[in-house]
């Protein structure tokens, strides 16, 4: 399995509505932070992380794709070169 591509070195902060969301783990989606199926062509072997948002809330999705708490930002982007 390859390393993910850094989509951006900051979180994607979004107001989310309840429902299933599919966070892009590979970094190649053109619809960040959500999966658009690009992982199938990227060759990374990474797959999206699915999460059920139970209530409307603000979410900080990881943009660097190196978080230790996927799919959420944990500040890892601050330590990347």
Query: Is residue 33 one of the residues assigned to a domain?
Result: yes
At 43 the pLDDT is 87
CA distance 71 to 22: 9
Evaluate if residue 1 carries a pLDDT over 80. Answer: no
Query: Is residue 4 one of the residues assigned to a domain?
Result: no
Query: Is residue 3 one of the residues assigned to a domain?
Result: no
Query: Is residue 2 one of the residues assigned to a domain?
Result: no
Task: Say how many domains are in the chain.
Answer: 1
Report, as an integer, the average pLDDT of 65-75: 98
Please give the residue range of the domain that contains residue 72. Answer: 12-79
Evaluate if residue 25 carries a pLDDT over 70. Answer: yes
For residues 61, 22, 71, 57, the Cα torsion angle rounded to the nearest 10 degrees is 50
- Claim: this prediction has a pTM higher than 0.75: yes
Query: Is residue 1 one of the residues assigned to a domain?
Result: no
At 42 the pLDDT is 87
At 31 the pLDDT is 98
């Amino acid at each position: 399995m390859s390393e993910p591509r850094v989509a951006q070195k900051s979180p994607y902060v979004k107001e989310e509505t309840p429902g299933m969301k599919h966070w892009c783990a590979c970094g190649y989606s053109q619809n960040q932070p959500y999966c658009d199926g690009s992982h199938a062509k990227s060759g990374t072997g990474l797959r999206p992380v699915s999460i059920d948002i139970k209530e409307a809330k603000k979410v900080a999705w990881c943009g660097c794709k190196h978080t230790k708490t996927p799919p959420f930002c944990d500040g890892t982007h601050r330590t990347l070169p």
